[in-house]
A and B are shown apart, each in its own frame.
Chain A
């Protein structure tokens, strides 16, 4: 089956630093990847849609300058949380759609970000 990986799985950083999270589709090509944020005991909130070779589309209320998304290849999208603050602490999950396949999303295992 389709596999999506994320790296790192867990990261702790100091306030004010930047953190990069990678999302890779391991056995398929994904022209579109999605970044979600999951707060404790809540559902996934879509942050942005990442399109290979073009600018990401951000959901309302998500700061594009704070959450930088780069989708440089058909198998890799990165999310950089810039100047992180404690309120950015969360579980970040990416998903990818197989460019050749059905319209379902395959999810990565998530990255737990803790900002001190």
Chain B
């Protein structure tokens, strides 16, 4: 069975600080990896995704994530956060090929202080 773990449940940063949110997954095969963001009062939006190719993936709003296969990790990074990045971030994994279900991590709540 596939699983996703996010190590940080609640992160508080000052504006301009750098961000790294951890994500590790467990899956016995080729994976597709995603980071979703949920801003307060809004629905889930895709930040970035990895299917294959370059393991360093760039997403919207200056976010990037690196797939490290040997570590089963897909950490999310941003060099300088803004107050508007305050949201909940979910890492997700699905097996590649076919209509396989997506498994979400428990989420990390990011609070950016102005």
Contact = CB atoms under 8 A, between A and B. Distances in A.
Interface of A: 31-32, 34, 42-44, 46, 49, 93, 95, 97, 102-110
Interface string B33-59: 010100000111110010100000000
A109 B104 contact: no
Top 5 A-B pairs, shortest CB-CB distance: A109-B43, A107-B44, A43-B106, A32-B99, A43-B104
B111 interface: no
A84 B66 CA distance: 43
A46 to B, nearest CB: 6
A106 B94 CA distance: 14
Contact of A103 (B36, B44, B51): B51
A46 B101 contact: yes
Interface residues of B, number: 23
A103 B101 contact: no
Nearest to A51: B99
Contacts of B104: 43-44
A42 to B, nearest CB: 7
A49 B90 CA distance: 20
B87 to A, nearest CB: 14
Interface string B44-83: 1110010100000000000000000000000000000000
Nearest to A45: B104
Given A44-B104, A104-B34, A105-B102, 16 more contacts: A43-B90, A43-B104, A43-B106, A44-B44, A46-B102, A93-B44, A95-B44, A97-B99, A103-B32, A103-B51, A103-B100, A107-B36, A107-B43, A107-B44, A109-B42, A110-B43
A103 B96 contact: yes
B46 A43 contact: no
A43 B103 CA distance: 10
Given A93-B44, A103-B94, A109-B43, A49 B99 contact: yes
Contacts of A110: 43
A44 B42 contact: no
